[in-house]
Amino acid sequence: MTHSERILILDFGAQYTQLIARRVREGGVYAEIHPFNFPIESIRELNPIGIILSGGPSSVYADGAPHSDPAIFDLGVPVLGICYGLQLLAYQLGGSVNSSAKKEFGPAQLIIDSNSDGIFRGIPEESRVWMSHGDSLTRPPEGFEVIAHTTNAPICAVADLKRNIYGVQFHPEVHHTTHGGEILKNFVFNICHAHGGWNAQAFIESAKKDIREKVGDGKVICGLSGGVDSSVLAVLLHEAIGDQALCIHIDNGLMRKDESSQVVKMFRDTYKIPLDFVDASPMFLSRLAGVTDPEKKRKIIGTTFIEVFEPEAKRFSDAKWLAQGTLYPDVIESVSFKGPSVTIKSHHNVGGLPERMNMKLIEPFRELFKDEVRAVGRELGLPKEFIDRHPFPGPGLAVRVLGEVTEERCNILREADEIFIEELHNAAQYDQIWQAFTVLLPISSVGVMGDERTYENVCAVRAVTSTDGMTADWSRVPYEVLAKVSNRIINEVRGINRVVYDISSKPPATIEWE
């Protein structure tokens, strides 16, 4: 997909790199992330209007530290270095960087010294910023002036006004920096002179045009899980090429309650999209029998999905394209050299299916974050209950039924989960939460129901708030709502006699339990 203006972000391994791109895009300007060692020739081909150097965990003077090509400073393109990015540009341009006597991790008070017309235009003279560094810039390169400081960092921001090169020691992309979004917008619009206009509607028109040009009069198969990404993808394809788009929905026995029937009804009846439905529940559940390791579960589900999907897709022998709802974070993780994260768990996707079936891949969302896909879905008119639905893991209930996965345990969890979600909707809490779900634990506890002693399953209730899923805090769901949820689950779901609430944040925990 072509972009008339773009901000290029070079990734040095910071956990916040994706947030930089999101903040820039929120201002209506397309931003994309590449590894720190992205070749200078490729940068020239992309022709960015500005370059941002991300933070990172290394010391610029250490052996093997990630360094980008210093030729980026000779492109005549504005550059903004953030944290490690500031230290790198200073180091490469002749300044001095040393280990700090006082390391800074957390909030600090930024005091602006000058440059009211640059990146600090409209920013209060004092404001809170978020620090995360063990090294400091001790001498700026020639041609740079110090434009801000904190108590612990005499050089907290620098600028070379002639070359439009800026650096800040703090992280403007995180919400803890009170005016961080404005600082990034100042760079993008005041320094790089962006015009904006990159939004859901612009994306849809561009994506439909791309799809038509790629596909021509060919047919496209879309695996429709019923989640946000695949649902929006199916509707986008249908709008672009009509009945040339064929959807396959596989019920793996690990879906939410009545989910498959809702998917079939909506896409067949409402959207009139050609849909092939396959109930493969017995096969998936039999393969998972006796398996307790979460990574093995994921691999079994991924392999079985391909086994079911492949022959089904071959029934449509004239289809030469396979559509996937791959999102930008997946793309970033696959290309970053010292990127945003190591693999915590394997991704659930169709793996090498396109090559095996001699099909070409089409991924319209590979440049989008999750919230951007939701925005596209709203623009396309999908129902709110589909667009605003909380994320659901690819392996489904297999990673929420801890221990062995059986049909009985999945049914128990489905009933508990439906009660939890229903009560969150009733209390107007659902839309305030990033993700909410229940987990069936592989332990039993003693209880008393009536005059009888019980020994049944423990159910954990999980709800988190987040902006992107990269970090998350446990949601402060009102006690009266949790009390009602617990009471209903224990009374209405046979097989559960105890409910606990998960109050772990990410990090150190993950959002899902497996």
Catalytic residue annotation: 83, 171, 173
Q: Compute the distance between CA of residue 506 and CA of residue 476 in angstroms, rounded to an integer.
A: 15
CA 227 to chain CA centroid, nearest Å = 14
- Whether residue 197 contacts residue 28, with contact meaning beta carbons closer than 8 Å, is answered with yes
Report which secondary-structure segment, H or E, holds 452.
strand 452-465
Spatial contact of 263 and 226, defined as CB atoms under 8 Å apart: yes
Q: Please, are residues 54 and 339 in contact by the beta-carbon 8 Å criterion?
A: no
Q: How far apart are CA 295 and CA 301, in angstroms?
A: 10
- How many angstroms separate the Cα of 405 from the Cα of each of 294, 299, 424? 10, 14, 26
Phi, psi (degrees; rounded to nearest 5) at 214: -70, -50
Please answer whether residues 146 and 122 qualify as being in contact, where contact means their C-beta atoms are separated by less than 8 angstroms.
no
Q: How far apart are CA 19 and CA 173, in angstroms?
A: 6
Beta carbons within 8 Å of 346's beta carbon, 6+ residues apart: 295, 298, 299, 302
Q: How far apart are the first and last CA of the chain?
A: 35
Note whether 42 and 57 are within 8 A (CB).
Answer: no
Q: From 440, 454, 434, 451, select the one nearest 499 (Cα to Cα).
A: 440
Say which amino acid occupies 96: S
Q: Alpha-carbon distance 430 to 420, whole Å?
A: 10
CA distance 13 to 374: 27
Rounded distance, CA 328 to CA 94, Å? 35
Farthest CA pair distance, the chain: 82
3 state DSSP class of 268: helix
Contacts of 76 (CB under 8 A, 6+ apart): none
Task: Using alpha carbons, list the distances in angstroms from residue 193 to 21, 71, 160, 411, 471.
Answer: 17, 22, 17, 56, 32
Gap between the Cα atoms of 76 and 269, Å rounded = 55
